[in-house]
Structure 1
Amino acid sequence: MRELLGRHEDLASARPDEPAVVHAREPHAGTVQTWADLCVRAGEIQEALTDQGVKPHQVCSLVLKDHPDLVPTLLALWRLDCPPVLLDAKWGARMTSSVLAHSTPAFGVTLDDGGTGAPPAVAPLAPGPSDAPSDAVFIGYTSGSTGDPKAIVFTHERLYEGTLGNASASKRLRGGPVRRIARSMRMSGSGVINLHHTWGAVLGATVVVLPELTVSTARDYWARIEAHGIDQTFLVPQLVELVNRFAADRDPGVDAPLCLTGSAPLSPRTQARFQRRFGTPLYNAYGLSETSSAAFFGHRGPDGLAPTASASPSG
């Protein structure tokens, strides 16, 4: 039970001064949080939540944003057995209202935006009790591409065990352990957390929050990857297209990171262009929100690149 919380606390004890999250994205660029920092801040936030009336074993909601308090807030909520329903700040009012009506969280948590270092604010939501599912780490909602969004309860055990399989696959594909993971997406949902921060905790790797990858930032993508010593990156197909179209060439004298893609269909043409232009494999992973992690990864072909036609199991 609560394996992800235990993993963070074990790292804080065994490797307290090693960086866990490095922020290279404004307005928090230059902020470095060690494993110990995350757990100390989690204790402060837990106390602040309790002072604001939060009771254990209740479902809450959490508006996601790129903020140094995001991971500590998750840890604090896990200590209280209060799994959050993850809300995207860019959802419209209709989507947000629908999710809240379905999940009935007892209270909502909002991270401070004023740069004051204040703990997250708490607001009551549902009038009655909202008992938390057993061992829940958070509750995500699907995109609703085939109907209304559907709730998925992610548990500590399932997410931890699934990510162990992912870590095994990344080590196999890279030929060694991954130590620095780049995050170039905005913080929008469970997938972004799992592919970066959950993966980083299970591996004991540093997550580097790079500037959000857009048309205006894509040119320097590889320069940022090299400057931060990144050895694993995950790009959804839309971001692969941005890198293909706008990024400057990669220095072939610098080892490339393990490049993964997924979360949506990737055309063979897009994959081939990326590999041809940047001279490194782009592995197409496949998974479902319901599986809590990727289930299959691509493999390296005879030419040293990733084929587009087949995949191999993560384990």
Structure 2
Amino acid sequence: MSELLRVRGTEMHDKPCIKTPDGNSALTYGELDRAASAFAARLQERKCRAGDRVILGLSNTPDFFVALFGCFRGGLIAVPVDANLAIDELQVIVNHAQPAAIIAGDGTESRFKSLRVDCEVLTLEEDGRERATATYEKGLPENPALLLYTSGTTGDPKGVLYSHATLLRKIESIRQCFGFDESYTSLCLLPTHFGHGLICNSLATFGYGGTLVITPPFNLDLLRQLWSILNRNRVNTFSSVPTVVRLLLQYAANRDAGTACPSLKFVTCASAPLRPEEVEAFQHHFNVPLLNCYGLTETCGWIACSPNSSDRNLASVGKALDCEIRAFDPNGEPLKPGEKGELRVRGPSVMVGYYKHSNVSGTVAQDGWLATGDVGEVDESGAVFLHSRVKEIIIRAGKNVYPAEVDSVLLSHPEVADACTVGLEDQLLGEAVAACVVRRDGSALSEIALIDYVRGRLINYKCPQRILFMERIPKTSRGKVNRSKLRSLFEGQ
């Protein structure tokens, strides 16, 4: 990855590499190359050595990429984290990663210094960008480069380690899939501390020599400014999550102007299920293709991508990207095309195991298949369809209820803005179906009316018995929901 930047810095010295939302060039490729060397030199002065871990707590800034490529250049392992995690959550990651240094961002230095750590907490501002260059640690492509932690929705987060070769192959496969070249300008509005925003959006842009416009992670202020940012920077593509898509549709529904960007060629969406109706609504309203993608932290990002073609199946998350994807039954036997089971993936981007836990049973089989934990199917054409997480399946009186299917029906109601279905303990039936629902502004939709609506569209055992209305459904910075935590909201109701 360091060599990739060195080549870009030489061949595209004066080309804008990273821009800020106001359209100003924060760093050219040449400037990023020099700044990365300077920062690597600083880390080496602090006794950081090849193979050491360095935690990066300054997401979504130009300086984040200086620190990231500085780690690559010094042969260090970069560990991007969400600095807004609870202190206890940060402590778990620090204890596991055992970093040689922590790089804090604006306003986060005190949080990291409050942790129990055996290393320095540094900021980029102390350094400036004009320093002696580092001893260049070229290393081997197979050497570790990046350590990302899973969201931890089923327990403590696990660290997934990527090599330089894995990252390079993934960003090249993304370039080939979508036909990217150096003429593209990409926007990143997703957090750079997880794979979707970092690898599939940002590093992929540097891989094809494009220009990256970096914003703070998506929030309501950005929602109001997004289309002006896109137009000002002549953005050609950006990636999103379903929550972003839904908010854009809600915001645009009340506004007829300011929601067009002639330069925009397509938008990608991943990290959670997206309904075909939402894809159609987005494409109709904004006149730009919305392409479903699918990936995991354990696979270095996307393993399936939708083609940018008008005849693609909007219910599919696309076809396998540089890998194999198949559905398996509970006994580990492969299923026929169109049969529903747990999806498994095999290919060059699949991890060999979790950091410090290389032999995690049931995750990666001896033949290389990674159990994704997702229920889905692969049709005869190779199109992949998602239905639910294995552990999220609700079993009511011996019958499987897929939360995503119930969510889809709830979201189809014109007065529902967001919904999440969970299973509650039921002494008679095993589990009962319940749902957390966010009503649209001004709606007085009742629990009875919404349950009746669902009953008209699903068989009775799949219908919610209880609905809890709330102002918003809590999501992580990755746009994901921890359904197990939502169950506690029903206690005492």
Gaps of 5+ in 2: 110-122, 129-140, 323-493
Distance 1:216 1:252 in 2: 18
Gaps of 5+ in 1: 121-132
Within-5 A mapping of 1:1-315 = 4-24=1-21, 30-111=24-105, 117-119=125-127, 135-171=143-179, 179-210=184-215, 212-247=217-252, 248=255, 249=257, 254-300=262-308, 302=310, 307-309=314-316, 311-314=318-321
**Aligned AA (1:135):** N
Distance 1:211 1:81 in 2: 28
CA contact (8 A) 1:286 1:294 kept: yes
Distance 1:66 1:207 in 2: 11
Query: Which digits, 9 at most, give the CA deviation of each residue in 1:89-133, with x for residues without a partner?
Result: 11111111111222222332334669994229xxxxxxxxxxxx9
Distance 1:217 1:60 in 2: 30
Distance 2:182 2:33 in 1: 24
Distance 1:54 1:198 in 2: 24
CA contact (8 A) 1:140 1:190 kept: yes
Distance 2:125 2:91 in 1: 29
**Aligned AA (2:273):** P
Distance 1:50 1:116 in 2: 14
TM-score, normalised to structure 2, is 0.55
TM-score, normalised to structure 1, is 0.83
Deviates more, 1:56-65 or 1:145-154: 56-65
**SS of aligned partner of 2:167:** helix
Distance 2:148 2:236 in 1: 28
**SS of aligned partner of 2:81:** strand
Higher relative contact order (CA 8 A, sep 6+): 1
**SS of aligned partner of 1:294:** strand
**Aligned AA (2:9):** A
Cα distance change on mapping 1:193 and 1:119 into 2, 3 Å: farther
Once the 2 structures are TM-superposed, how far is the Cα of residue 188 of structure 1 from its aligned partner? 3.4
The percentage of aligned residue pairs carrying the same residue is: 20
Counting matched residue pairs gives 293
4+ residue stretches of structure 1 with deviation over 4 A? 111-116, 248-253, 300-303
**Aligned AA (2:190):** M
Distance 2:307 2:165 in 1: 27
Once the 2 structures are TM-superposed, how far is the Cα of residue 226 of structure 1 from its aligned partner? 1.9
CA contact (8 A) 2:234 2:263 kept: no
CA contact (8 A) 1:16 1:34 kept: yes
Distance 1:17 1:178 in 2: 14
* RMSD between superposed Cα atoms in Å: 2.8
**SS of aligned partner of 1:157:** helix
**SS of aligned partner of 2:37:** helix
Q: Corresponding residue for 2:474?
A: none
Once the 2 structures are TM-superposed, how far is the Cα of residue 250 of structure 1 from its aligned partner? 6.0
Distance 2:320 2:124 in 1: 46
Deviates more, 1:245-254 or 1:197-206: 245-254
Once the 2 structures are TM-superposed, how far is the Cα of residue 216 of structure 1 from its aligned partner? 3.1
Distance 1:21 1:116 in 2: 17
CA contact (8 A) 2:191 2:198 kept: no
**Aligned AA (2:97):** S
**Aligned AA (1:21):** I
